Amino acid sequence: MKATTTITAQSGTTASRALRQEGIIKEATGLTDVKTLRARARQGIEDGAMTAGYKAKVETVIRLLNEALATEIVCVLRYKRHYFMASGINSLGVKAEFLQHVIEEQTHADQLAERIVQLGGEPNLSPEGMLSRSHSEYVEGDSLVEMITEDLVAERIAIDSYREMVTYVGTDDPTTRRILEGILAQEEEHAEDLASLLKKMGP
Ligand SMILES: [Fe+2]
Ligand SMILES: [Fe+2]
């Protein structure tokens, strides 16, 4: 049964289709009608992708994304350090893995920065305080095993913090949530890669 607020019309007739397109007939979908959507989109047009329908607390989302951005940058730096410092007979495959992670963490950082701008914020790329904004630490490590272990710890921290962020955003900001979920899935792959490298290297 189709519920209407203003006019009742037989569905399927040309007249009712026209009224529905105009947004005059409102079906019981819970979705906002066309006229309201159009009017809302014109308000605050300078806000770009941010519309009146945005439900999350944007300042909090931007702050969380900036913390994640700092985490990713610290991860890029740590993996780079490990890539250049890895040596020994076991290092070839490990170096390749570190380099791949450098590239992927950088991509995560860029995705986060881009989303921050879309939300009307500014990506905080200042080196000042970067490490204290970051969730994970920058540990250099002396041996290959130490480096991989520290990277695995950092990935596990990232996994937990992304999972919490996904829960916080919930259904209030689906785009941010999708970005966070994509990154989370890749951090889980990273952790898995590192855990299997550790196993291969033995005790
Ligand atoms: Fe990452
Ligand atoms: Fe990662």
Which pLDDT value is given to residue 5? Answer: 44
d(CA 49, ligand 1 centre) in Å: 24
Starting from the CA of residue 189, give the closest ligand.
2
Query: 38 Cβ partners below 8 Å, 6+ apart?
Result: 23
Starting from the CA of residue 190, give the closest ligand.
2
Which pLDDT value is given to residue 7? Answer: 44
Residues around the ion ligand 2 (C-beta < 5 A): 155, 187, 190
Query: 136 Cβ partners below 8 Å, 6+ apart?
Result: 71, 74, 75, 78, 153, 154, 155, 157, 158
Domain boundaries of the chain, sorted by first residue = 1-42, 58-201
Looking up tokens 């963490």, which residue turns up?
Answer: 105
d(CA 71, ligand 2 centre) in Å: 10
Starting from the CA of residue 79, give the closest ligand.
2
Neighbours of 18 (CB within 10 A): 12
Task: Report mean pLDDT in 10-residue bins for the chain, 203 residues.
Answer: 43 64 63 80 79 88 97 98 93 95 98 97 96 94 95 95 95 96 98 95 76
Which pLDDT value is given to residue 2? Answer: 42
Looking at 1.20.1260.10, 3.60.15.10, 1.10.510.10, 1.10.15.40, the CATH number of the domain 58-201 comes to 1.20.1260.10
Starting from the CA of residue 111, give the closest ligand.
1
Starting from the CA of residue 69, give the closest ligand.
1
Which pLDDT value is given to residue 169? Answer: 94
Most distant CA pair in the chain: distance in Å? 78
Which pLDDT value is given to residue 125? Answer: 97
d(CA 35, ligand 1 centre) in Å: 41
Q: What is the pTM of this model?
A: 0.80
Angstrom distance (rounded) from CA 71 to CA 73: 6
